[in-house]
Structure 1
Amino acid sequence: MKEAAVTVAGIQMEPVFGETEKNVARTIALMEEAASKGAELVVLPELCNTGYVFQSRKEARDLAEEIPAGPTTSAWIGAAKRLNLHVVAGITEKDGVKLYNSAVVIGPDGLIGRYRKVHLWGDEALYFTPGDLGFPVYDTPLGRIGCHICYDCWFPESFRLAALQGAEIMCVPTNWVPIPGQDPNREAMANIIVMGAAHSNSLFVVAADRVGTERGQPFIGQSLIVAQTGWPVAGPASADKEEILIAEINLADARRKRNWNDFNQVLRDRRRDVYDEMLGSAHLPGWH
């Protein structure tokens, strides 16, 4: 018997810029399909309700919504309740005068929390405020869920701080773009990075990417679900097609199988006499 068996889904899709209503309807249709295949936790791409390539702050503001009052979060909350799902999805968030590249964490009973992207990529810095919530980890009936968004994964501290708070699975809405120097005969660098982070922190990772080209910007797909060992259990998906990845995982393995041998356990072996226990993050609201 698996102590903490969970069926997870990574949804790879192609939002259409600015067509929020259609995009949200598409996300819900894909959530329904994933639920019909047994999914209990579904992860959707970054900014999947609006699209990604903004051309002005006004454009971003016009498409942004409040959480949870906005129509996108409301629609996802309704779908999660109807389908008995947990959902992590990327959304363009408005909070007063500030805009954030955010993700909502939703369960069958409503909004659980939100994550705001800490490390902004490229032109995102022209429109969004860097995340101010740290790296919150949420207790859910399925397990302890943390979030990153895309470029956050390039910072080892991001995964480590979530792991130190007891995260068992990291949900990553993402919009991966081509990386200079990528070997076309190798897996995407983004895949390697999340695989390494899963391995070095004993965490499961569900990374849901988008596909297509938006305003001249191509996206690379290749979503995947990674076990705490660092090896994929579903995917990588294709580079150019909408797909749903499904895997049954046992979140207890993130804790039970953290010991690599009689001597070594990656979180226990940290040299806290050499570097700070919390990597200087104690002041952040996301630290517990």
Structure 2
Amino acid sequence: MSGLRMAAVAANFDRDLDGDFARIAGLIERARADGVKLLALPEAALGGYLLSLDGTAGSPPALAVDGPEIRKLSALAGDMVVTAGYCEAAGDTRYNSVVCVNGDGVLGNHRKVHQPLNEDANYGAGSGFAAFDTPVGRLGMMICYDKAFPESARALALDGAEIIVCVSAWPGSATNPDPDLNRDRWKRRFDLFDRARALENQVVWLSANQSGTFGSLRFVASAKVVDPGGEVLADTGVTEGVAVAEVDVALALENARRAMGHLRDRRPEAYPALGAQLVRA
């Protein structure tokens, strides 16, 4: 099959920015050698995530979207499109953000809208979802808990997103954790959301996640590529790795939407509280 080769990463990142960049450089180099054109790195890939979700952990180093670190990421990306999570400095506010870059610079940036537990003690909240054009197609981005809300992915799909990238630092359950992450209930939710959001919007879905442990958190990894029918094309499982798949995106969307087009067949007048948005031409 001729198509777009894409990859989602499960890996561990921490406060050591030099170490994070070294790991990212290695991942990009290997992905490029494998023909990957779109690479999704996890939430907080630059500087690591919070040490806990109890509101007491300090934030990662704050970086400006137009600062030297994002320029360095852009230079590493070169001819690839790369997404990576970071703590964004914007005036006096810090955001949990994800940036999309290639060698030309920043292509898109998203601030996490939905904040679980006490994450709002460390970050401000983003205000919306918007798709954007890239050399590999029209993309949408979201972060972790954003995917628990169907409206997030639907807003991006209605804005024409063909591929949605969700970057996460999704941990296993904090209460009654299962020693086997494969049986963890939060891991099951992570996987269900990935497949449901892809299927209900009939989009290609990339899900990157942190792996290993950081502070009190144990991450479920499970990076994956999902097709518009909700089928998992590649998955790292609960360990560090890279999920790689090749997808003819235009053909996959056409085939998925030919008979039952979930965006086309919407009846906005039946649920006016959700807003009567139009499908982007």
Is the structural similarity TM-score above 0.5? Answer: yes
The 8 Å contact of residues 81 and 135 in structure 2, kept in 1 or not, is answered as: no
Please give the per-residue CA displacement for 1:57-85, whole angstroms capped at 9, x wherever unaligned. Answer: 89427x1111121x32121111112xx11
**Corresponding residue pairs, total:** 271
User: 2:101 maps to what in 1?
Assistant: 106
CA shift for structure 1 position 196:
0.9
2:43 to 28, 43, 46: 46
Please give the per-residue CA displacement for 1:24-79, whole angstroms capped at 9, x wherever unaligned. Answer: 22112111111111100000000111111257889427x1111121x321211111
Q: Distance in 2 between matches of 1:200 and 1:174?
A: 20
User: 1:158 maps to what in 2?
Assistant: 152
The 8 Å contact of residues 24 and 72 in structure 1, kept in 2 or not, is answered as: no
The 5 A counterparts of 1:122-201 are: 122-132=117-127, 134-179=128-173, 184=183, 188-201=188-201
The 8 Å contact of residues 45 and 175 in structure 1, kept in 2 or not, is answered as: yes
Letter in 2 for 1:172: C
Q: Tell me, what secondary structure is at the counterpart of 1:60?
A: coil
Provide the aligned C-alpha RMSD in A: 2.5
Structure 2 unaligned spans of 5+: none
Pair 1:202 & 2:239 matched? no
User: 1:89 maps to what in 2?
Assistant: 84
Q: Tell me, what secondary structure is at the counterpart of 1:22?
A: helix
Please give the per-residue CA displacement for 1:219-265, whole angstroms capped at 9, x wherever unaligned. Answer: 11111110011001111x1313x21111101110353123363xx32
CA shift for structure 1 position 12:
1.2
1:32 to 29, 34, 51: 29
The 5 A counterparts of 1:216-231 are: 216-231=216-231
Letter in 2 for 1:276: P
Pair 1:252 & 2:235 matched? no
Cα distance change of structure 1 residues 172 and 96 upon mapping to structure 2, 3 Å threshold: same
Q: Distance in 2 between matches of 1:59 and 1:266?
A: 42
The 8 Å contact of residues 49 and 59 in structure 2, kept in 1 or not, is answered as: no
Q: Distance in 1 between matches of 2:251 and 2:204?
A: 9
User: 1:213 maps to what in 2?
Assistant: 213
Q: Distance in 2 between matches of 1:238 and 1:76?
A: 26
User: 1:266 maps to what in 2?
Assistant: 262
Cα distance change of structure 1 residues 201 and 80 upon mapping to structure 2, 3 Å threshold: same
The 8 Å contact of residues 20 and 50 in structure 1, kept in 2 or not, is answered as: yes
Cα distance change of structure 1 residues 58 and 228 upon mapping to structure 2, 3 Å threshold: closer
The 8 Å contact of residues 188 and 222 in structure 1, kept in 2 or not, is answered as: no
The 8 Å contact of residues 150 and 197 in structure 2, kept in 1 or not, is answered as: yes
Q: Distance in 2 between matches of 1:57 and 1:259?
A: 46
CA shift for structure 1 position 98:
0.5
Sequence identity, in percent?
30
The 8 Å contact of residues 51 and 214 in structure 2, kept in 1 or not, is answered as: no
CA shift for structure 1 position 154:
0.3
Q: Tell me, what secondary structure is at the counterpart of 1:247?
A: strand
Pair 1:76 & 2:73 matched? yes
Q: How does the TM-score come out when normalised to structure 1?
A: 0.87
Structure 1 unaligned spans of 5+: none
Q: Which moved more, 1:145-154 or 1:264-273?
A: 264-273
The 8 Å contact of residues 10 and 245 in structure 1, kept in 2 or not, is answered as: yes
Cα distance change of structure 1 residues 185 and 157 upon mapping to structure 2, 3 Å threshold: closer
Letter in 2 for 1:22: G
Q: Tell me, what secondary structure is at the counterpart of 1:220?
A: coil
